[in-house]
């Protein structure tokens, strides 16, 4: 099979985790840039990356890169790329654009010019003088311009990869599946340790933790736009899905994952989502106030996304909540805590300096991921 230049799009702060995932999948020619991880692969690799990457937002094919500071340069360079290798005569090819710190900043003009250039290229290759019907497979094209460098890509994912297919019911201020998985992967939690999310909402962090530990492919219950492409060799997707099913871990028993919240409606949705994801038996959801959190396990993990207090009227309540979290978590003195929030004074209210913090984005909101490490478990003598 031919090999292509591929891009795993990733949220700011998560790129290195996505790169680590690619390394574990067996890829070696990897480069990390802001918001993206570049790697190489064939059609099977495109399917594999879409199926397995937990922290990427989508997988793109990099058709070509070039400098452009005028619309003429944009048109001629786009026209020179081998679009006929991808787009069939009846292919649908919508074009979107984004531009950051570049001379060409009009997105509507960039879209229209790129579309016209692609049409002209295809007309010549297909020996057609008519406008194309575009009633066949869809090839979503993006014109990405950063510092006057244009990257022309085709999206292979369709819906963003954070849409696993299990979170059907929405709740207030949900955290994305990709960010939740990144939060879990940044910890040292393993299946034999208890994990609690005391603000679990509709269950995303506990579900992503269970799927990760059970080696359940995040893309197993959804489709991808490139599955309908003419170029795909027969049985590639069927083989990838069968392999993913076979790699689910069944030897770890029932995981010790707990999701608690004070809102019963959110918990009802969390239970439904856990069933949809196939991890219901591994997560115990319970209505419980954070102030009542306790455990008979000596060692464990709390991974959570508490309220941030972005609205002024909520600020006083959230400050008190963070103070209370500090007092409650003290009771779990040998546990590790991982908390994401946009509140820059969290450590002050929590009453403890974090061992490490990492800048992450929850949607468009800049947050810090505070990491408090508990002691290593004492091994029992044999």
Q: What is the mean pLDDT of each run of 10 residues along the chain (382 residues)?
A: 91 96 95 96 96 98 98 98 95 96 96 97 86 90 97 98 90 85 96 96 97 97 94 92 96 95 96 97 97 95 91 83 97 97 96 97 94 87 62
Three-class SS state of 238: helix
Single pTM value for the model: 0.94
CA 294-308-17 angle, 5° bins: 80
The pLDDT assigned to 310 comes to: 66
The pLDDT assigned to 133 comes to: 87
Q: CB–CB of 157/58 below 8 Å?
A: yes
The pLDDT assigned to 330 comes to: 95
Cα–Cα distance for residue pair 76/40, rounded to 1 Å: 26
The pLDDT assigned to 241 comes to: 96
Superfamily holding 177-214+249-372: Vaccinia Virus protein VP39 (3.40.50.150)
The pLDDT assigned to 312 comes to: 61
The pLDDT assigned to 313 comes to: 62
The pLDDT assigned to 82 comes to: 96
Fold of 4-155: VC0802-like (3.30.2130)
Which residue ranges make up each domain of the chain? 4-155, 177-214+249-372
Cα–Cα distance for residue pair 86/65, rounded to 1 Å: 16
The pLDDT assigned to 86 comes to: 95
List, as one string, the DSSP characters of 99-161.
EES-S---HHHHHHHHHHHHHHHHHHHHT--SPP---S-B-EEEEEEETTEEEEEEESSSS-T
The pLDDT assigned to 48 comes to: 97
The pLDDT assigned to 382 comes to: 60
For 333, which DSSP code?
T
The pLDDT assigned to 309 comes to: 77
The pLDDT assigned to 173 comes to: 64
Q: Is 129 exposed, middle or buried (0-12, 13-18, 19+ CB in 10 A)?
A: exposed
The pLDDT assigned to 315 comes to: 86
């Amino acid at each position: 099979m031919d090999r292509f230049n591929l891009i795993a799009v990733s949220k700011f702060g998560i790129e290195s985790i996505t790169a680590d995932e690619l390394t574990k999948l067996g890829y070696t020619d990897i480069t990390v840039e802001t918001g993206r991880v570049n790697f190489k692969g064939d059609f099977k690799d495109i399917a594999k990356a879409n199926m397995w990457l937990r922290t990427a937002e989508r997988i793109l094919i990099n058709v070509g890169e070039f400098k452009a500071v005028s619309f003429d340069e944009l048109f001629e360079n786009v026209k020179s790329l081998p679009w006929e290798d991808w787009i069939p005569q009846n292919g649908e090819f919508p074009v979107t654009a984004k531009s950051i710190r570049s001379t060409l900043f009009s997105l509507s003009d960039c879209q229209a010019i790129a579309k016209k250039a692609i049409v002209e290229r295809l007309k010549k290759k297909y020996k057609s003088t008519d406008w194309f019907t575009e009633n066949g497979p869809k090839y979503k094209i993006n014109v990405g311009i950063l510092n006057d460098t244009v990257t022309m890509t085709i999206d292979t994912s369709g819906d963003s990869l954070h849409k696993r297919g299990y979170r059907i019911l929405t709740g207030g201020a949900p955290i994305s599946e990709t960010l939740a998985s990144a939060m879990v992967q940044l910890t040292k939690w393993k299946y034999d340790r208890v994990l609690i999310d005391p603000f679990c909402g509709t269950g995303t962090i506990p579900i992503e933790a269970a799927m990760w530990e059970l080696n359940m492919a995040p893309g197993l219950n959804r489709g991808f736009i490139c599955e309908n492409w003419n170029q795909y060799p027969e049985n590639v997707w069927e083989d990838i899905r069968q392999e993913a099913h076979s790699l689910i871990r069944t030897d770890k028993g029932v995981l010790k994952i707990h999701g608690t919240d004070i809102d019963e409606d959110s918990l009802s949705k969390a239970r439904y989502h856990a069933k949809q994801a196939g991890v219901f038996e591994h997560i115990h959801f319970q209505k419980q106030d954070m102030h009542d959190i306790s455990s008979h396990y000596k060692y464990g993990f709390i991974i959570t996304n508490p309220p941030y207090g972005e609205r002024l009227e909520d600020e006083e309540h959230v400050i008190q909540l963070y103070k209370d979290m500090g007092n409650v978590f003290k009771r779990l003195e040998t546990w590790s805590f991982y908390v994401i929030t946009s509140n820059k004074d969290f450590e002050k209210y929590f009453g403890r300096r974090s061992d490490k913090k990492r800048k992450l984005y929850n949607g468009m909101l800049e947050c810090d991921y505070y990491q408090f490490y508990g002691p290593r478990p004492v091994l029992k003598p044999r």
